[in-house]
Structure 1
Amino acid sequence: MKQKPKKGFIEIFRGGKEQPEQIEILYFPPEYSIDKSNNFSEISVPGLESPYLQYIKGNSGSISLEVFYDTYEEGGVDVRKYTDQLTGLMNIDPELHAPPVLRFIWGLDSKEPFYCVLEKVTRRFTMFNSDGIPVRAKLNITLKEFKVELNSRERSLQSPDKTHVYTAKQGDSLWLIAYREYGDPGLWRPIALANKIEYPELLKPGTELIIPPVE
């Protein structure tokens, strides 16, 4: 029986596109692991057996998982047709000048989305047809957390007034900044108008942008 491709377990945000896309996969991952850590500073006090700990910052989280592909039942279709879609997420997006931002959606609460970039991929081809074409593969991938907006706990510590200055970084675009600030990449025009930007795709790192409030 021919395996029908499913929608992917991650969404892809490419430059200039308001709606994310999903790659095709054959099997959903059966499990994944999440790693998260914090940094603390030790404050030594004479006379105490152990130091006080002061919270410094949280480190970027990561998700690790294995993805399985098998096209043997498709009559020897090259399995790289599917694996290349995933490994290609490490390539530089010509509009972002950086690899695309992703959102991991498989088995996670939509209220706390995990935005990330593809940090590492290890491919293993484990079966070949008589012509030497790979028809089965396992990919071990690591997704690194990518900050696009404040979470609910961080927002409670911020001013409700969204008017502020943002300094563009390498790989930033107005679409990505609008998504970070407003949760909608289609709201890039108010930022462009406030900063008199005629060509939104040409955004130099270090540019200071006024981020206006929107309704």
Structure 2
Amino acid sequence: MAQELAKATVTLLDGRESGREITVLFNPAEYSVEYSASFQETAAPGLSNPILQFVNGNAQVLSMDLFFDTWTSGSRANVIDATRPLTDLLSIDGTLHAPPRVRFQWGVFQFVAVVERISQRFTMFRSDGTPVRATLTVTFKQYRALAEQLEEPRRNSADKTKRRVMESHDSIWLMAAREYGEPRFWRVIARANDVDDPRRIEPGQVLVLPPLSADQRREVDDAAGTA
């Protein structure tokens, strides 16, 4: 017995029409999911490349082409009427003051997102110019609620005390740039480790890197401003 073909759907998750399901006319031939992260570049004297400091992860992006055709279906109606349920997902919902969240689902694959962008290309027309065939390039941007992200285990970051071993090619300035994003925070490391002369730290020495508080940031900024 032939297995029934699963059709891809887009379901509204909030707003006036929460729960409404949009079924695509034809399943996509393929889709892509993009993963990325943002890094800050910090220049350091004597290095040919800047130091990269992780800033944050970026939302995943789901992209696909969806095909619409009213000519071969026999209706030969304006294809815009068939694509409008998707293009309307970019409109502001009055109850949300923003476009609604949606869930794209095809078989076991699910993706909660907002529709970020739709490009509509018309490729066939009736004799009077009415479009009857179109391809929509749809871009979904992952949506994750703040509460959901805060529940995740916190990763190793600059708000927790760490220990680092000084390497022969390293310096306290480079260490500060890697951990705190700025070489000027070397004073925080020096103070935490009773370092009088940062140029005389021996390779192999273990240094404590404390959390960087707002007061410490202001103190370093004030010291830099009066230098």
Between the aligned partners of 1:45 and 1:107, the Cα distance in structure 2 is: 50
Paired residue type of 1:144:
K
Q: CA RMSD in A?
A: 2.9
Per-residue deviation at 1:145? 2.3
Aligned match of 1:62: 61
Q: Is residue 2:35 matched to residue 1:36?
A: yes
Per-residue deviation at 1:12? 1.1
Bigger fraction of residues in helix: 2
Between the aligned partners of 1:14 and 1:82, the Cα distance in structure 2 is: 22
Aligned match of 2:191: none
Deviations 1:160-207 (A, max 9, x none): xxxxxxxxxxxxxxxxxxxxxxxxxxxxxxxxxxxxxxxxxxxxxxxx
Moved more, 52-61 or 84-93: 52-61
Give TM-score scaled by structure 1 length: 0.58
Cα distance, 1:107–1:62 mapped onto 2, change above 3 Å: farther
Cα distance, 1:150–1:35 mapped onto 2, change above 3 Å: farther
Between the aligned partners of 1:150 and 1:28, the Cα distance in structure 2 is: 33
Aligned match of 1:100: 100
Structure 1 contact 121–140 (Cα < 8 Å) conserved: yes
2:119 equivalent among 117, 122, 131: 122
Between the aligned partners of 2:136 and 2:107, the Cα distance in structure 1 is: 19
Give TM-score scaled by structure 2 length: 0.55
Between the aligned partners of 1:16 and 1:119, the Cα distance in structure 2 is: 19
Cα distance, 1:107–1:40 mapped onto 2, change above 3 Å: farther
Between the aligned partners of 1:109 and 1:126, the Cα distance in structure 2 is: 29
Cα distance, 1:122–1:50 mapped onto 2, change above 3 Å: closer
Aligned-pair identity in percent equals: 39
Structure 1: stretches of 5+ with no match in the other structure: 1-5, 159-215
Paired residue type of 2:69:
D
Paired residue type of 2:145:
V
Aligned match of 1:136: 133
Moved more, 7-16 or 119-128: 7-16
Aligned match of 2:193: none
Aligned match of 1:53: 52
Deviations 1:16-62 (A, max 9, x none): 56x52211321011111222211123455666665553321012221
Larger Rg: 2
Equivalent residue pairs, number? 149
Paired residue type of 2:53:
Q
Paired residue type of 1:118:
V
Per-residue deviation at 1:97? 1.4
Per-residue deviation at 1:139? 0.8
Between the aligned partners of 2:135 and 2:44, the Cα distance in structure 1 is: 51
Aligned match of 1:198: none
Listed as ranges, the matches of 1:5-24 within 5 Å are 8-15=8-15, 20-24=19-23
Q: Aligned with 1:135: secondary structure?
A: strand
